[in-house]
Amino acid sequence: AQLIDGRSMVPLLRGEQDLIMEERDLFWHYPHYGNQGGEPSSIIRSGAWKLIHYYEDGHDELYNLDADPGEQHNLYNTVMAKASEVRQRLDDWLVEVDAKFPTPDPAYDPVTEKTRLHELEHVLMPKLEAEHAEYLDPDWQPNDDWWGSQIITD
C-alpha cells in the first residue's frame, strides 16, 4: 500500500475545530528543477516560521511570515536557535517519509550550459517573440495543419 501523507480537511470545511490540523507543520519537498524556474528545495512552515533549504548550494532561508509575509528579510543568521530548531524538524520529516534527494548530474558541463543559455536568449527567444507577434496581426491565419488540425467539410 502507498503511504498517503496528510489529513482530511473536512472538519475545517465544516467549521469544526481541529487542534491537530491547526498546530501541525506543513512540508514541501521539491527535489528537482521546475519548468517555470523552481529550484530543488525543501520547505517547512511551522507556525509563523518558514524555512527553505536549497539543494543547489545548500543554503537556508528563514522568514517570520507574521512580520514579513513577502519574505523580504531572511532571518536565518539572526535567529540561529529558531533556524536550527525548524531545520531539524524539516530534516526529521524528510527521513520519516524517506524523501529522495537530488544528486549531481555526472554529464553536467558548464560550458555546454553556457552555450545553451546563450542560444536560448539570442536565437530561440527572438524567433519565438517574432512568431508570437505574428499572432497579434488581425489578418493572421493558422496553417492548414496547425496543432495537428484537420479541415473537415460537411
Backbone angles phi, psi at 63, to 5 degrees: -130, 145
Find, among 8, 4, 38, the residue nearest to 21 by Cα. 8
Q: Would you list the domain boundaries of the chain?
A: 10-96, 104-138
What is the mean predicted confidence (pLDDT) over 37-55? Answer: 95
pLDDT digits (tens, 9 = 90+) for 97-143: 999 999 888 999 999 999 999 999 999 999 999 999 998 999 888 87
What's domain 10-96's architecture?
Answer: 2-Layer Sandwich (3.30)
For the beta carbon of residue 120, count every other beta carbon within 10 angstroms: 11
Contacts of 3 (CB under 8 A, 6+ apart): 97
pLDDT value of position 9: 81
Q: Is the per-residue pLDDT at 1 higher than 70?
A: no
pLDDT value of position 59: 97
Per-residue cell: 55: 539543494
